[in-house]
Amino acid sequence: MKQDNFEEIVGKYLALGNHEHRYTSFDYCYNYFLTEKDLTKDIEKSCFELAFYLASWGMFRGSSFLLQKSAKYFVKTIEYINELDKNIWSIDVSEYNDSNIEKLIEIYEKLDKLVIEGFSRSITLITKIMLGVFGFVPAYDDYFCKSFREISDGRCGFRKFNKKSLNVIKKFYDTNNKKINELANRTFTFDFISGNKTNIKYPKAKIIDMYGFSLSIKE
């Protein structure tokens, strides 16, 4: 699982980073949910923060049931997130232990019930929400999953959000923690108002997400 191309692969992603690029919707979403103490105080804003981030990442495309929804659809999701202990935001891939993995799976399952409608495939959408809101897991989209199936030599299909896949991500982090930590410590989110960098660092899980996404995406 040792990788020697973090700078090159993650650099492709970061090179596109500016305050108006769609990738930066992660920054604005993560900043908001990390720092806002009461998400229900202005629930309209909370719903739009989440909805626009998801739209930027293709979750409202034509094949998605979300195309038929407004931001109001996320009210119950915001209310649930608001009830969670703020310590949840301190979990990162370096803290993946049995207890924290159980918490992540519990949150995934609850969000799945609140968000998913009908027989829609849930794993990409729900992990996109978890990444943008909490920053503690990579998004299991097609690019990331393809990369990590190869990285794990097929030992994990990354078709389910479960203990097995999270343990593979933890092993990947442990094997490459020096470079992942270095990138996380020097990568900061953009501020929406000023367009400048904040003092909020990218989570380690986001660094891994960028690596897995960029490794498989075509130019």
- 20-36 residue pLDDT tens: 899 999 999 999 999 99
pLDDT along the chain (219 residues), means of 10: 85 85 95 97 97 93 86 97 96 97 97 84 92 97 92 87 96 96 96 96 97 80
Give tens-digit pLDDT for 123-136: 999 999 999 999 99
Q: Would you say 184 and 204 are in contact if contact means Cβ atoms under 8 Å apart? A: yes
Q: How far is it, in rounded angstroms, from Cα 95 to Cα 17?
A: 27
The predicted pLDDT at position 2 comes to: 78
The predicted pLDDT at position 16 comes to: 82
Q: How far is it, in rounded angstroms, from Cα 152 to Cα 91?
A: 23
* Cα 195 to Cα 54, 56, 75, distances in angstroms: 20, 18, 28
The predicted pLDDT at position 219 comes to: 46
The predicted pLDDT at position 119 comes to: 59
The predicted pLDDT at position 163 comes to: 95
The predicted pLDDT at position 157 comes to: 86
The predicted pLDDT at position 202 comes to: 97
Q: Would you say 131 and 203 are in contact if contact means Cβ atoms under 8 Å apart? A: no
The predicted pLDDT at position 137 comes to: 97
The predicted pLDDT at position 174 comes to: 96
The predicted pLDDT at position 38 comes to: 96
Q: Would you say 176 and 3 are in contact if contact means Cβ atoms under 8 Å apart? A: yes
Q: How far is it, in rounded angstroms, from Cα 118 to Cα 192?
A: 35
- Kindly state the tokens that stand for 25: 């919707």
Q: What share of the chain is helix, strand, coil (3-state, %, to 5)?
A: 65, 5, 35
- Kindly state the tokens that stand for 43: 């629930």
Q: Would you say 88 and 203 are in contact if contact means Cβ atoms under 8 Å apart? A: no
Give the contacts of 78 (CB within 8 A, at least 6 positions apart).
Answer: 39, 40, 43, 46, 47, 50
